[in-house]
Amino acid sequence: MNRKQLVVVVIVILLIAVGLAASMGTFLATTPTKEATYTAPASAVRAPLGTTATSDTIALRLNGVSDASNRATRDTWVKFNNDSANITYRMSLTPPSGERYLIANVTVKNVKSTAVHFSDTAFAVLTANNTAYYSNYAVCNQNCSRALENRTLSAGFTSDLYVLFAVPTGTTADKVVYTASNPPIVMSAV
Q: Return residues touching other proteins (CB under 8 A).
A: 24, 27-28, 31, 33-36, 74, 78, 86, 88-94, 96, 99, 119, 121-122, 124, 132-137, 149, 164-167
Q: How far is the CB of 64 from other proteins (least distance, A)?
A: 21
Helix (H) or strand (E) holding 126: strand 123-126
- For residue 179, the minimal CB distance to other proteins (Å) is 8
Following DSSP, what letter does each residue of 146-158 receive, concatenated? HHHHHTEEPTT-E
Nearest approach in angstroms of CB 139 to other proteins is 11
> Would you give the distance in Å from CA 35 to the centre of its chain?
10
Contact yes or no for 104/176 (Cβ under 8 A): yes
Nearer to other proteins, 46 or 74 (CB): 74
First-to-last C-alpha distance (Å) of the chain: 71
Alpha-carbon span 174 to 130, nearest angstrom: 9
- CB nearer other proteins, residue 43 or residue 88: 88
Nearer Cβ to other proteins, position 53 or 148?
A: 148
Q: Which is nearer to other proteins, 61 or 173 (CB)?
A: 173
- Coil, helix or strand at residue 169: coil
Neighbours of 167 (CB within 10 A): 19
Q: CA 31 to CA 83: how far, in whole Å?
A: 41
Find the shortest distance in angstroms from Cβ 105 to other proteins.
18
Q: Which is nearer to other proteins, 61 or 124 (CB)?
A: 124
Shortest distance, CB of residue 39 to other proteins, whole angstroms? 14
